[in-house]
Structure 1
Amino acid sequence: MTSLAGTGTLLRLAWRRDRWIVVASVLALVATAYGSMAATLDLYPSDAAAASGASAMVDNPSLTALYGPLPSATVAGIGVLKTVMMGSLATAFLAFALVRRHTRSEEEDGRLELLAAGVVGRRAPLAAAVALASLTVLGTGLLSALSLLATGVDAVGSFALGAVEVVAGLVMTAVTAVAVQLTSTTRGAGGIAIGVLGLAFVIRATADTATGAGQDLAWLSFLGWAEKVSPYGANRLWLVVPAVVATALLLAVADALLHRRDLGSGLWAARPGPARGAARLGTPFGLAWRLQRGSLLGWTIGYAVLGLVIGNIASSVDQIADSPDVEEMLRKMSGGQGSLLDAFFGTELRFLAVGAAAYGIATALRLRSEENAGRGEIVLATPVSRWRWLASHLVIAGAGSVWLLAVVGVAAGVAAGSVSTTGVAELLPAALATAPAVLVCVGLTLLLFGLVPRLSTAAWAVLAVFVVLGEFGALLSLPGWALGLSPFDHLGSLPGGDPNAAGLVGLLVVAALVAAVGATAFRRRDLAT
């Protein structure tokens, strides 16, 4: 038996398990690329019309730090400004999730040990996971490029955007392959891989806002490589080559580390805990908080930084959105009332609410991982009821999501207050007004966990659909019933307008109902043991 025996079978199994999530995620990324370009082409009839807005984007350091430099002062360049960095991050995260799920998560849950008892080589699980992630990344890049071609823009630039996603996704695939060899836990592997991704973003942002030789720091970040492809600008398609080389080298390192560790363990020894645990760990909430606090801290730091960056962009909003068409686009995406600055903040806060929903979903899905690993059964063997165990994780998922919204509202308000008349008093309520939509996403996750636990991760596909409807539904003139499927379509218009009181109350009722149904279903079903 060779070390790669069974790779094809494991690849088919991985695809069978994740095909709907992969398809939904890829389609969401492709729709984002297409929607952004199509909307921009509608706003600017020519490159000359886009020139003034482009100059304001170039001159704003906060915008550059967040999205990177403008590829070119053209309509197509503006159309991919957000897609380059946001698409890179999203593709990288998708690759990370697939590799970790089919390697370290399988080992931690004990399923890989059962597979290894059959005709499965030592390298096969890692090879299958890397193959699935790589094919997904390549498919995302190709379909994104083809979707842009449908808008009539330059073909070379279109394939350059596909190369951007391929560069980021392939390198992140290999980074995750190394991370899962280093630690024995899914959470530890995730911390390492996401830490590398965060560091790559910080290095890239620092380089983009630096002057002189400091700009060369971008070459130390694989997100910097993706950015420097510069679709509809320099079109450096050759940057795929160093990305492939780096991917191959990292995969070679991952393979070497794989043969230096035992199945189920990591290269780094697990740190022993204290001889006696804290008293608070004797309660379901205390244990859930201990498991989730590191993740919430990382998200809090990230949201505080994003809030400050977005708040600082307030000084340039008038120059960036200097045409009636751009203003109309912002109003459609934010609810439609208030000043231009209000419309800008409304749009950005809704986008960040989607991120808060992602945190809530990931936190709620910890219930499923705890159940699969058998730790949930151990907890429930004590006098802890199913409801208390469920509620402990649900409270952290819901309250943590609302906390992130409060953090970004305060941070954006503080930064914006120094350059405009909009401050914390306006942005904090606007951020918190998106909480009901976020809680609906958390409630739907619990519903899936209770009713069809094996499909719990489909919550990510549901969020992807909400993103497409919320971000681009109005711009693409989708019918009202389709837009109404997204909870983010019922929020009203804050800041600058009025909240949709009936819609917000309705969303809270929906969130409570789906969570109650999910909790009831969980109490009536058997545990996965």
Structure 2
Amino acid sequence: MNLLASTEAGPGDSTADHRQAHRRARPRGTDGRLGGGGLTGLGHLLLFMLRRDRLRMPIWVLSLTALTAYFANAIALVMDADTLQTMTVFAKNPVMGLITGPGYGLDDITVPRFIVGMYAVFLMIGIALMSITTVTRHTRAEEQTGRAELIRANVTGRHAQLFAAVILTVIMNVVAGALMAAALQFSEADPDPATSSLLFGAGMTAVGCVFVGVTSVAVQLTGFSRAASGMAGAVLALSFVVRGLGDMSAVAGGDLDWLSWLSPLGWSQQTAPFTLDRWWPLLYSVAALVVLLLISLTVQSRRDLGAGITAERPGRTHAGRGLSTAFGLAFRLQRSTLIWWSLGILVMAAIFGSFSGAMAEGADGMPEQITQLMGGPRGIVDGYLGYMALYMAMIVAAFALITVGGLRSEEQDFHTEPVLATAVSRGGWMASWVTVTLLGSAWLMLLAGIGEGIGAAASLDDWDLLGPTVLGHLVQSAAVWVLIGLACLLYGFAPRLLGLTWIVFAGSAVLSLFGGLLQLDEAVLDLSVFNHIGQYPAEDISAEAVLTFLSITVVLVGAGMVGFRRRDLVTA
């Protein structure tokens, strides 16, 4: 009636009456502002996200808790006081400062201090990855697929979805931190006091929450979920490297220890549970979360739904010849990721290799079991380079699994169906994507070998190390390829189970990195795909293992292609 009345009124009153009627008709709280209106529908969205993650959330949380409990109980059972003292020599090495942390409390080592000093950083990486994937899943991925637009068509505020994702992920971090603290407190390590265990869990939560903020900003910058996850992952990698350089300098008595305070991982490590028990470094994490959330809200208020803050470059009018084939398209889609990983791997490997001189200088003080861990009595430098080849293979395996997962993302984002509508067959498309991934992982291992070999040769002035180091890294590609084959098999038959490859990868990495220290049986250690080829140049390369892995890869990829040809697309 009001609209009708305004229509019948004179032309001078029509515009004002229309505006007044529109303001009355518009649902309250949908103006996009943060105060009240911008959060309309927050509760319903949070409940919806909790339901979507009813399986994913407990899997992440319980996996991190189980890993904490395993470390705490296994170390306490296999290490006595004498063993801990010998391990102190190893932990005080600058290279271990680079990998694990500053090593607080090593002068008066205890089992809880050893656990926190040696293994906490790996748990931090796990909880950070949980945060990155969860925030991306419920924000940018929803916009990319168009589901966020359907949600915004209802009575929901501009910031409701982002806030719901942040709250959900913070809840996951708090629960994970509390359970990890409980797992440590009630373990065979018998930690004391309980507040130190609580501080350990709070440090884990703090790291996860910082990367909630990092990812909330990343999803505003780009229109693609994989790019947003890549940005946040790059920040995580940079945080690890910066912290490592600072901690290495601190262990070696250098003057770059301040670098550790530039990393979110370093803030939690500087709390030093069971040694200094400092709570105040966590304030940096809280401040970072608040600042990052404010930035993300500001940016989100100024961008369109579905778009990133950075403008997308217009494509060429005509595609190049390389895009006329399935292989060319697969390479084009993976090109930017491969370039950034190549740069990161090369720099990281060169840094690791440059510390070969420090390993050589500290070889005299190494306990025998550590020398064996590094590859036997042939030389601590060869052992270190062989061990780092294994370590780099694990990093490259993460790239490989992420890239194979891109097959499912392409299918879910309705990109695969148009490709298959052309003359490209299902087998041809999958084979092209997987071939690029296989070659890309081998390329990254080659770069890792070159970078580490150059760094080691330069630090020791022994260029005979370059060739063996490159070969030792390159042959580890076979272990990475087995994981690629497993991912292809799951994608072909049951793409929803693709996450199981990460469980296999994590289990293999844990067994390879810590199985020897935990004195596990050889049969258990052999369950890791990284334990069969040999850590060359310290150990001989097992040609049988390499050929077996290559054969398994061919079978798994072939079986996955058969499954992909027979199942329906998710868009069908």
Equivalent position of 1:443 in the other structure: 485
**1:32, 1:301 → 2: CA distance?**
35
Structure 1 residues not aligned, in runs of 5+: none
Identify which of 387, 404, 407 aligns with 2:444: 404
- Does the aligned pair in 2 maintain the 1:24–1:465 contact within 8 Å? no
Amino acid at match of 2:423: P
Equivalent position of 1:197 in the other structure: 236
How far the C-alpha of 1:212 sits from its partner, in A, is 9.2
Equivalent position of 1:72 in the other structure: 105
Equivalent position of 2:133 in the other structure: 97
Equivalent position of 1:328 in the other structure: 369
Identify which of 267, 272, 276 aligns with 1:230: 272
Given the superposition, is the C-alpha separation of residues 207 and 484 from structure 1 closer, same or farther in structure 2, using an over 3 Å criterion? closer
Equivalent position of 2:21 in the other structure: none
Please, which moves more after superposition, 427-436 or 3-12?
3-12
Question: Deviations along 1:345-389, whole A, 9 cap, x unmatched?
Answer: 333321221111111111111111111111111111111111221
Matches within 5 A, 1:423-502: 423-502=465-544
Give secondary structure in 1 for the equivalent of 2:53.
helix
Q: Does 1:250 align with 2:292?
A: yes
Given the superposition, is the C-alpha separation of residues 50 and 473 from structure 1 closer, same or farther in structure 2, using an over 3 Å criterion? closer
Amino acid at match of 1:93: L
Q: How many residues are treated as equivalent by the alignment?
A: 522
State the TM-score, normalizing by the size of structure 1. Answer: 0.87
Equivalent position of 1:183 in the other structure: 222
**1:515, 1:15 → 2: CA distance?**
30
- Does the aligned pair in 1 maintain the 2:533–2:545 contact within 8 Å? yes
**1:141, 1:437 → 2: CA distance?**
32
How far the C-alpha of 1:69 sits from its partner, in A, is 2.9
Amino acid at match of 2:415: R
Given the superposition, is the C-alpha separation of residues 159 and 300 from structure 1 closer, same or farther in structure 2, using an over 3 Å criterion? farther
Structure 2 residues not aligned, in runs of 5+: 1-28, 30-39
- Does the aligned pair in 2 maintain the 1:126–1:177 contact within 8 Å? yes
Amino acid at match of 1:373: D
Q: Does 1:14 align with 2:52?
A: yes
How far the C-alpha of 1:130 sits from its partner, in A, is 2.1
**2:287, 2:332 → 1: CA distance?**
40
**1:128, 1:336 → 2: CA distance?**
52
Equivalent position of 1:135 in the other structure: 171
Q: Does 1:373 align with 2:413?
A: yes
Amino acid at match of 2:408: R
Identify which of 389, 397, 400 aligns with 1:360: 400
Amino acid at match of 1:164: G
Equivalent position of 2:424 in the other structure: 384
Amino acid at match of 1:372: Q
Instruction: Between the two structures, name the one with larger relative contact order (CA 8 Å, sep ≥ 6).
Output: 1
RMSD: 3.2
Q: Does 1:524 align with 2:566?
A: yes
Given the superposition, is the C-alpha separation of residues 110 and 482 from structure 1 closer, same or farther in structure 2, using an over 3 Å criterion? farther
Asked which structure has the greater CA Rg, the reply is 2
Amino acid at match of 1:449: Y
Identity fraction in percent: 35
Give secondary structure in 1 for the equivalent of 2:54.
helix
Amino acid at match of 1:331: Q
How far the C-alpha of 1:221 sits from its partner, in A, is 3.6
Question: Deviations along 1:167-207, whole A, 9 cap, x unmatched?
Answer: 22111111111221232211332343234334444554565
How far the C-alpha of 1:483 sits from its partner, in A, is 3.1
Equivalent position of 1:288 in the other structure: 330
**2:179, 2:103 → 1: CA distance?**
23
Please, which moves more after superposition, 5-14 or 92-101?
5-14
Please, which moves more after superposition, 271-280 or 22-31?
22-31
**1:239, 1:478 → 2: CA distance?**
36
State the TM-score, normalizing by the size of structure 2. Answer: 0.81
How far the C-alpha of 1:112 sits from its partner, in A, is 3.0
Identify which of 126, 135, 144 aligns with 1:108: 144
How far the C-alpha of 1:321 sits from its partner, in A, is 6.1
- Does the aligned pair in 1 maintain the 2:139–2:165 contact within 8 Å? yes
How far the C-alpha of 1:135 sits from its partner, in A, is 3.1
Given the superposition, is the C-alpha separation of residues 20 and 394 from structure 1 closer, same or farther in structure 2, using an over 3 Å criterion? farther
**1:154, 1:426 → 2: CA distance?**
47
How far the C-alpha of 1:81 sits from its partner, in A, is 3.9
